Structure 1
């Protein structure tokens, strides 16, 4: 695996692959990799001849009181994992390379509607930062396909919408969430959890599944979500939000919708956990 922090080197390598008629997949990450990230590489290998990954802790998507300074950096271990998984090229730019004018003078991408509410409300400016850096990385790598984990469901919808709206010739491939045996979704921020917090953190996914069963037979989406939030809080977490939404638009679900997603976030000690579950209703519910 080749590693570079130079944009020109990435473009040179991709251009060489193109001359050979090879296809390229891209997996952007912020490092501190776990098996969920590696599953993205594994999926990418099914769709392209060559794999490019990136590691960049993006300052534009962190808020003023968020954890960018303490965000774990494990570059050597990450390189070993990516190489073992079959990555061909790793791009490791600095903030000065991605934002040479500084983030305050950088052109940015705003994706309306799907970026609003949920994590977009809890973390103002977050999805502007995500869309901007992903757009820039797409322009650098120019992949045929790109893989993103469904644990960040709203993020996937934001990126998919950006790609469609801006006519980018890139296929976005959502990849299923990887979980611990307890059901807890793998996340770099799980490293903030104490042993005791790890025991209660699965309450988030457990109550999402409880809610998914209930909505098969009950149209009181708001009331059921409030119950689930109460159960999450009683387990020792602090609910940020839990909502039942249309799976594509992320608007509040109606009784006529059959393709839904439950979006949830909760705080557990220093960690902010997010999770989701897509739900297919056998038929539209009627009250």
Structure 2
């Protein structure tokens, strides 16, 4: 495993690989790695000759400074996990100045409304920060393919729109959500949950599955109201939003249409820890 902390040595190594006709796969992460990240890397290994894993806690995508400060960081543990579980990985761990330059700020993007719903509604400037850091990573690593988890499905759609808007020649691959035994979507934030809250947070996925069943026979409004009522009776979790949206446009739906694909999206708090999840809906 090679670790690069500066862009230039990484760029030179990638140029050499590409000159040999080999492909590059990128897995962007913010560290605090877990089995979900490893599954992304394994998918990338199947589909690329050389995999680069970036580990960088991006300051521009946090609208809450306290959330940024509390975000789990343990680079030594992350590198040990990658080295023990995977082979032939390159790791890119830049500082903010190395990646951004002297000015650490977000570029403004027009994602055609994808950025203004759900996460964008509750996290001001979040997706400008995501778009900016991913653009910097794509320009440095020049991957042929980049791999993202479907847990952050809105982010996945926004990054697809980013490549379309910027013309960056990267194929975006969405990978299935990896879950804990309880059904809770794997997330770095899970490590901050108390044992009680971690157990109770399984309610999120159970509710999504029930909502999927209801969606087969009931209207979207009925399902949304049903979920909101379920959370009102839960003493451990506070619902921030539950929405049913078109999978492509992410717009809320009024009524189902044949031939369209829909997803249910949820965000909830366990104490001060924010958890998100989503599920494709049977139509």
Maintained 8 Å contact 1:14/1:141? yes
d(CA) in 2 for partners of 1:224, 1:49: 45
SS in 2 for 1:255: coil
d(CA) in 1 for partners of 2:181, 2:107: 42
SS in 2 for 1:198: helix
Q: Once superposed, which parts of structure 1, at least 4 consecutive aligned residues long, lie more than 6 Å away?
A: none
Equivalent residue runs for 1:16-27 within 5 Å = 16-27=16-27
Instruction: Measure how far apart 1:126 and its partner are.
Output: 0.5
Find the counterpart in structure 2 of residue 224 from structure 1. Answer: 223
TM-score normalized with structure 1 length: 0.93
d(CA) in 2 for partners of 1:256, 1:268: 35
Structure 2 gaps, min length 5:
none
Instruction: Measure how far apart 1:280 and its partner are.
Output: 3.3
d(CA) in 1 for partners of 2:88, 2:273: 29
Equivalent residue runs for 1:152-191 within 5 Å = 152-191=152-191
- Aligned pair count? 279
**Is 1:97 equivalent to 2:130 in the alignment?**
no
Equivalent residue runs for 1:7-156 within 5 Å = 7-83=7-83, 84-104=85-105, 107-156=107-156
SS in 1 for 2:269: strand
Provide, for residues 196-248 of structure 1, a one-character-per-residue CA deviation record: whole Å limited to 9, x for no partner: 111211111111111111111112x1232121122123222110100011111
SS in 2 for 1:244: strand
TM-score normalized with structure 2 length: 0.95
**Is 1:195 equivalent to 2:203 in the alignment?**
no
Provide, for residues 74-126 of structure 1, a one-character-per-residue CA deviation record: whole Å limited to 9, x for no partner: 1111112223323521110011112223324x544442311111111111111
Instruction: Measure how far apart 1:159 and its partner are.
Output: 0.3
Find the counterpart in structure 2 of residue 278 from structure 1. Answer: 280
Maintained 8 Å contact 2:212/2:282? no
Structure 1 gaps, min length 5:
282-287
SS in 2 for 1:204: helix
Maintained 8 Å contact 1:192/1:270? no
d(CA) in 2 for partners of 1:185, 1:50: 28
Q: RMSD over aligned Cα, in angstroms? A: 1.4
Q: 1:35 to 1:131 in 2, by over 3 A?
A: same
Maintained 8 Å contact 2:97/2:104? no
Tell me which moved more, 91-100 or 150-159.
91-100
